[in-house]
Amino acid sequence: MPATSLVIAVAFGYLCLLFAIAYWADKRSDAGRSVVSSPYVYALSIAVYCTAWTFYGSVGQAAIGGIDFLPIYIGPTLVAILWWHLTRKILRISKTDRITSIADFVASRYGKSQLLGGFITIAAVIVVTPYIALQLKGVSASFNLLLAAPAFHDGNFVQPSAFRDTALWVAVLMAVFSMLYGTRHIDATERHEGMVAAIAFESLVKLLAFLTVGVFVTFVVFGGVGDLFAQAAERPDIAPLFTTVGTRGYGGWVTLVLLSMAAVLFLPRQFQVIVVENVDERHLAKAAWLFPLYLFAINLFVLPIAIAGRLLFTPDAVEADAFMLAIPLAADAGVIAVVAFIGGLSAATGMVIVETIALSTMVCNELVMPILLRLAWLRLAERGDLTRLLIAIRRGSIVMLMSLGYLYFYFIGGSYALVSIGLLSFAAVAQFAPAIVGGIYWKGGTRSGALAGLAGGFLVWLYTLLLPSLARSGWLPIEFVDEGPWGIALLKPYALFGLAGLDNLSHALFWSMVANIGLYLGVSLVTRQSAIERIQATRFVEVFQHAQAGSRAQLWPGSASYHDLYELVARFIGKRRAEQSFAAYAASRNLALGKLSHADADLMHYTERLLAGAIGAASARVMVASVVKGKNVGIDEVLQILDEASQVIEYSRQLEQKSRELEAASSELRAANIRLREIDRLKDEFITTVTHELRTPLTSIRSFSEILFDNPGLSVERRREFLDIIIKESERLTRLINQVLDLARIEAGRFDWQMEAVDLPALAREAVLATSQLFKDREVALELDLPRELPPVHADRDQLMQVVINLLSNASKFSPRGTGRVTVRMIAVPGGVETRVSDNGPGIARENQAFVFEKFRQVSDAVSGKPQGSGLGLAICRRIVEHFGGRIWVESELGKGAVFAFFVPFAEAPAPAVATV
Amino acid sequence: MHELGSGDRFVALLFFAVLAVSPPLLSIFSAPELVLGIPVLYLYLFGAWAALIALLARISRRIERGERGPD
Amino acid sequence: MKSVLVVDDEPNIVLSLEFLMKQAGYEVRVARDGDAALAAFRDRAPDLVLLDVMMPGKSGYELCQTIRANPAWDRTKVVMLTAKIREVEREKGIALGADEYVTKPFSTRELVDTVRRLVGDGDC
């Protein structure tokens, strides 16, 4: 039998080892050589899920309900399948926002609400206290069992009176550890490497201890698995364990799976190790199967041990929860019993340490600090070094939590089996699930919705589980459970609204989830999000879309000095760490730290995140706001703007939905846009061309003027020649300017038309006369073929003259010198007169005929190599003729001359024929 | 199969996992016989659980080898 | 004697440039379009070419590119003359290898100075 002193020495030695490991890991971490940055350590630390409840309670559960113990471990395996999606999302969000706890997470999601953070914290404390009590109970019970072994050997197991005192000592030791390694320093990342290393070690210890006991019981005490089960199958009181799915039936099975799925992620200590203590996101992938594998291994021998216990002991002689120790003791194997004890101790300490650290962070950041910061008379924001205060608050919280746990254990814990207490906590933690899961996948969840859901869920939980459990412990009249309050049967806590037939847990889960999810959805739908809620909702839901947190930077419209921010951070995390953090900031952005005088929005955001790591998001925001000068009140205005902006975004989304209708319209718009651009391009081209056309004669004029000016000694012939060029080019310039102006006026519809009845043949003769010199110069023959009489046409005489002269002049230019022949012919056609000017020039290719009447479209002349004229003449002709209601066209074939023809309608009341020349 | 991402695999696995531990399936195996000296229900549950973990490990290793989730 | 090739399709501008260059002491040849200019180059590469940008057929830009593509004509300086005043056009000209870019109408004195600066005095 293990002596009392030996047991105490082993237990103390084990705890010392734990301290040593934590110390060593912390030192390594400070030296920059982390030991916890490994997926294996990560997976082992997550196994803090397995507590004394697993170690002792599972066997107890299996001894009564068969595989009833399993769903608690199968649930986490199901969640592990979702890890890469669900947990990684939570992890990414938490890293981006430096989330410090589950309360911080929920508060951040719903607009950094201090109210929500505080609520979750209080709820977590209420929920976790019994759970801590459970660990104390496990350890002290096992301790006392070991010491009471002789008494047990007489066939009776008596709880010694030292029972409760042991628990006190255990609680004190655990509190010391938590205070030492959980609050060593206040950090922006809120990670505790020493603690993680110790926890991982403890997980290893409890697994090995369990397997050792399992192998011993199965293969040493009994003749192997087959022997054990064969013996059990013979016993009518044990055999049913092989077939029944627990004491709660299938409904209970499903309930337990669901509860454990929520618990493995949302218990404060689980959130701490999975999310807050995570070093590298990639570790998730390996932990996703290593952790279930761990659960698998630790559960392998639960049923064999339970059955062994049932076979060995008469019912009521030994509590089923104590089989782990009782069997080795009964088999006189003291060493194995001590191993079992150490395993149970490690399971309990691991849970208590992480849980109290996680909770102390929550209590400090979400409850105490916000209150202290609000107490204006404390002038906390102006105080010097706040690191000590923060550490003190956390240490105080740990003491408070351990005291609560101990008190719960002392007054209530004795009356309840381990499993029942644990499940009470699980059911409460499940209440976090809707707000969290909804919060990261549904942007619509509002702060009010989350508050209402959580409050509703907890109230129902309180009413249907906690109060009845208190009643059963004798703290409340039991009639309240049996007959309902004031005898109202409909309100019986175990059969609310007459819902009977379910086990207590399923019943509570059903009603609390009805209240929780119903209120969360319902209230979210009828309330509006504030701007910051909407921003946070988007950041959370779309965390993978927004790789980096830059969007919030714009929320700090004011300005602050770098010094103020530094002072602020230093107060909370210490000068040294503050210096390091800001130096890292400056280095990452290639800034000189000394030159940072004015903090930009980016630096303020960085500061906010640093602080968030130490005091939580909600308080951090308040603190940064306290040093931002100028427009910090204007945040509301900025939020207003963002609010409107998001409404616009919403509106545009609706528009997108109607895209099918809009598609037609938008393609029309596109076409119109293309047309407009084409017009714009043409206008541009027109201006460029006009500029060019104007500059060419100007160049000649300027050049020759300067030559004449610089060379007074030029010969008279030369001077004449140059002056002649200057005059000709000036005329060309004048003509061009007139044409451009005419064209512009016609196109703008501002041309002053003098419409009258015009005798076309007379006009043609005049035009011929005007251009006769041109024809003579170019040695081109000109023939007229005009009818004697023609009714007058309706036109502006001067403009029509310009058309005819233009056509004649063109014809003369393009006809070959010497052999050129140009004919002007007029024919009366129905409705008007057709005038045709034909030449025997080079002709115009068919593909070019359409262009000749456009502005600046000149067709190269094979003879001269250069088209002559401005390229505006025919364009103007077309506009003039079209204004008269006529049309102009060209008939030609390459090499066979060209005929330019136009048609002008008769004047409306045909005047009597006028004699022609 | 090559187009399937880790997301699809996880969804499929979750479906089978939920099915495997669902009460109807459990009730099928809830028989008093011993197979290999072990109660059927016990054997089935641990077998299914082990298979589940093995598959989970397979998919997770694909991720570790480089396939990324939604980013 | 340094030689200058004038390439322009406007007879009067060609006339004035020819006069100016001759007066400055250069040997002057004239081409009315790109093909004629290339023929002149093949005949004998000038020391400098005054090149109009807007010409029928081959544009001044194309011609400049062709000249610059031939290593044998490397030492010929190219002065672009153009009525296009936009800065992009100037950049385009310089990018295509022109040494100078002169907008029309130009100052005759400045033009002569530019040519002198690029190839030195005519009589040497």
Q: Which of A265, A93, A86 lies closest to A609 in space, CA to CA?
A: A93
Q: How is residue C70 annotated by DSSP? A: -
pLDDT (tens digit, 9 = 90+) per residue, A447-480?
Answer: 888 999 999 998 998 888 878 877 777 667 777 6
Mean pLDDT of chain A: 78
Chain mean position to CA A167: 47
Q: Report DSSP letters for A857-884, one per residue.
A: --PPPTTTSS--S-S-HHHHHHHHHHHT
Residue C5 pLDDT greater than 90, yes or no? yes
Residue A867 pLDDT greater than 50, yes or no? no
Subunit partners of chain C (3 or more CB pairs within 8 A): A
Q: And the tokens for A173?
A: 């030791």
pLDDT of amino acid C123: 58
CA distance A402 to A386: 24
Distance from CA of A725 to the nearest CA of C (A): 7
Residue A324 pLDDT greater than 90, yes or no? no
CA distance A187 to B54: 38
Q: A916 CB contacts (<8 Å, ≥6 apart)?
A: A759, A761, A762, A765, A786, A788, A789, A790
Higher pLDDT, A548 or C33: C33
- Would you say A569 and A583 are in contact if contact means Cβ atoms under 8 Å apart? no
Q: Do chain C and chain B touch with ≥3 beta carbon pairs under 8 Å?
A: no
pLDDT of amino acid B70: 44
Q: C120: phi > 0 → left, psi -120 to 50 → alpha, else beta; which? A: left
Q: How confident is the model at residue C19 (pLDDT cuts 50, 70, 90)?
A: very high
CA distance A256 to A786: 112
pLDDT of amino acid A296: 92
* φ/ψ of residue A711, rounded to 5: -120, 75
Closest CB from A74, A85, A225 relative to B10: A85
Q: B17 CB contacts (<8 Å, ≥6 apart)?
A: A77, A78, A81, B52
CATH superfamily for C3-119 is Response regulator (3.40.50.2300)
**CB distance B34–A233 less than 8 Å?**
yes
Mean pLDDT of chain C: 86
Distance from CA of A302 to the nearest CA of B (A): 11
Q: And the tokens for A576?
A: 């040294």
Among chain A residues, CA nearest to C104 = A699
Subunit partners of chain A (3 or more CB pairs within 8 A): B, C
Any idea where the domains of chain C sit in the sequence? 3-119
Placement of tokens 């997301």 in the chain: B7
Q: Do chain A and chain B touch with ≥3 beta carbon pairs under 8 Å?
A: yes
Taken in order A594, A597, A602, A607, the sign of the CA dihedral is: positive
C12 interfacial to chain A (CB closer than 8 Å): yes
Residue A211 pLDDT greater than 80, yes or no? yes
What average pLDDT does the segment C56-78 reach? Answer: 85
What average pLDDT does the segment B20-38 reach? Answer: 77
pLDDT (tens digit, 9 = 90+) per residue, A33-51?
Answer: 777 788 888 889 888 888 8
Higher pLDDT, A245 or A154: A245
CA distance B26 to B45: 8
Query: How, if at all, do strands A898-905 and B34-35 pair?
Result: unpaired
Closest CB from B46, B61, B71 relative to A544: B71
- Would you say A299 and A220 are in contact if contact means Cβ atoms under 8 Å apart? no
- Would you say A821 and A784 are in contact if contact means Cβ atoms under 8 Å apart? no
Residue A103 pLDDT greater than 80, yes or no? yes
pLDDT (tens digit, 9 = 90+) per residue, A507-517?
Answer: 888 889 999 99
Q: A213 CB contacts (<8 Å, ≥6 apart)?
A: A301, A305, A324, A327, A328, A336, A339, A340, A343
CA distance A678 to A680: 5
Within 8 A of A226 by CB-CB distance, chain B residues are 36-38
pLDDT (tens digit, 9 = 90+) per residue, A552-562?
Answer: 444 555 566 77
* φ/ψ of residue C37, rounded to 5: -65, -45
Within 8 A of A729 by CB-CB distance, chain C residues are 12
Closest CB from C84, C106, C109 relative to A699: C106
Q: How confident is the model at residue C4 (pLDDT cuts 50, 70, 90)?
A: very high
Q: A121 CB contacts (<8 Å, ≥6 apart)?
A: A103, A359, A362, A363, A366, A367
A878 interfacial to chain B (CB closer than 8 Å): no
B37 interfacial to chain A (CB closer than 8 Å): yes
Q: And the tokens for A902?
A: 């136009």
Return the HEC string of A198-266.
Answer: HHHHHHHHHHHHHHHHHHHHHHHHCCCHHHHHHHHHHCCCCHHHHCCECCCHHHHHHHHHHHHHHHHHH
Cα first-last separation, chain B: 22
pLDDT of amino acid A208: 93
pLDDT (tens digit, 9 = 90+) per residue, A127-174?
Answer: 888 888 888 888 877 877 777 654 444 444 444 444 456 777 777 877
pLDDT of amino acid A849: 77
pLDDT of amino acid C21: 92
* φ/ψ of residue A151, rounded to 5: -60, -40
**CB distance A77–B46 less than 8 Å?**
no
Q: C83 CB contacts (<8 Å, ≥6 apart)?
A: A691, A692, A694, A695, A696, A699, C53, C54, C103, C104
> Averaging pLDDT over each range in A88-97, A298-307, A460-469, which range is the top one?
A298-307
SS3 A496: helix
- Would you say C120 and C24 are in contact if contact means Cβ atoms under 8 Å apart? no
CA distance A276 to A196: 11
Q: And the tokens for A886?
A: 């006529």
Residue A383 pLDDT greater than 80, yes or no? no
pLDDT (tens digit, 9 = 90+) per residue, A405-418?
Answer: 888 877 766 665 55
Closest CB from A698, A710, A728 relative to C105: A698
Higher pLDDT, C6 or A310: C6
CA distance A837 to A539: 78
Q: A667 CB contacts (<8 Å, ≥6 apart)?
A: none
For the ranges A527-541, A655-669, A757-771, which has the lowest average pLDDT?
A655-669
Q: How confident is the model at residue A861 (pLDDT cuts 50, 70, 90)?
A: very low
**CB distance C9–A866 less than 8 Å?**
yes
Closest CB from A695, A725, A867 relative to C83: A695
Q: How many CB atoms lie within 10 A of CB B66?
A: 6
Which residues is A322 bridged to in the sheet?
none
Q: Which of C53, C52, C12, C115 lies closest to A704 in space, CA to CA?
A: C12
Residue A614 pLDDT greater than 80, yes or no? no
CA-angle at A574, arms to A571 and A577, nearest 5°: 130
What average pLDDT does the segment A715-740 reach? Answer: 87
Query: How, if at all, do strands A793-796 and A832-839 pair?
Result: unpaired
Q: How is residue A273 annotated by DSSP? A: I
**CB distance B21–A71 less than 8 Å?**
yes
Q: Which of A5, A7, A11, A73 lies closest to A346 in space, CA to CA?
A: A11
**Could you tell me where the beta strands, DSSP code E, fall in chain C?**
3-7, 27-31, 48-52, 77-82, 100-103
What average pLDDT does the segment A803-831 reach? Answer: 87
Residue C29 pLDDT greater than 90, yes or no? yes
Q: How is residue C57 annotated by DSSP? A: S
pLDDT of amino acid B6: 66
Residue A748 pLDDT greater than 80, yes or no? no
Q: How confident is the model at residue A503 (pLDDT cuts 50, 70, 90)?
A: confident
Distance from CA of C56 to the nearest CA of A (A): 7
Within 8 A of C21 by CB-CB distance, chain A residues are none
